[in-house]
Amino acid sequence: MEPMATIGKVISTHGIKGALKVQPYSDFPERVKKLERVFLEIDGEIKPYPVLDAFVNGRYWVISLAGIEGMEAAEQLRGTSILIPLSERVELPQDTYYLDQIIGLNVYTVDGQLLGKVQDILQTGSNDVYVVHSPQGAEILIPALKDVVKKVDLKRARLEVEVPAGLI
């Protein structure tokens, strides 16, 4: 099976017919209207579901899936991840990356010193912050700014940064 990307999480039901209220993990909320099929991860198994209807409702998505009928069936899916194949993600502009592409990258200074691996990304509103765990167990917070992050190399799983004075 093709690698998948999580685009949302079922947080509740919507109405009595089995629609799902979904917290989107996408920067492109309107994309939900174009979905023809999604995958749900249920008990460790990934299953496809045709999309019958989907729309944006405030900060959330409402999605109706074939085979999910009634509020009880929808309620059982609370907490379930909604996935799509990586090949169906919205193409990003050059030098823009999905969070899951950054998490797991090894972080090096421009001088070649290994700082650690990106374990998480904090979204602060003004700019993201990469949470890097060093081989020694220390946590380093790297601001995701153009003057700090000098190079992202997904093929080599490498991120190069110019560390601001006093950060480490």
- Answer yes or no: is pLDDT of 9 > 80: yes
- Answer yes or no: is pLDDT of 17 > 90: yes
Second CATH level (architecture) for the domain 99-161: Roll (2.30)
- Answer yes or no: is pLDDT of 125 > 90: no
Helix (H) / strand (E) containing 122: strand 114-123
Number of H helices, E strands in the chain: 2, 12
**Which is more confident, 51 or 100?**
51
Model-level pTM? 0.68
- Of 3.30.930.10, 2.40.30.60, 3.30.1490.190, 3.30.200.20, the CATH number of 4-88 is 2.40.30.60
Size of the chain, expressed as the number of residues it contains: 168
- Answer yes or no: is pLDDT of 129 > 80: yes
- Answer yes or no: is pLDDT of 168 > 80: no
Percentage of the chain modeled with pLDDT above 70: 100
**Short-list 84, 2, 81, CA closest to 35:** 84
Q: How many CA atoms lie within 13 A of 23 on its CB side?
A: 9
What's the pLDDT score for residue 143? 95
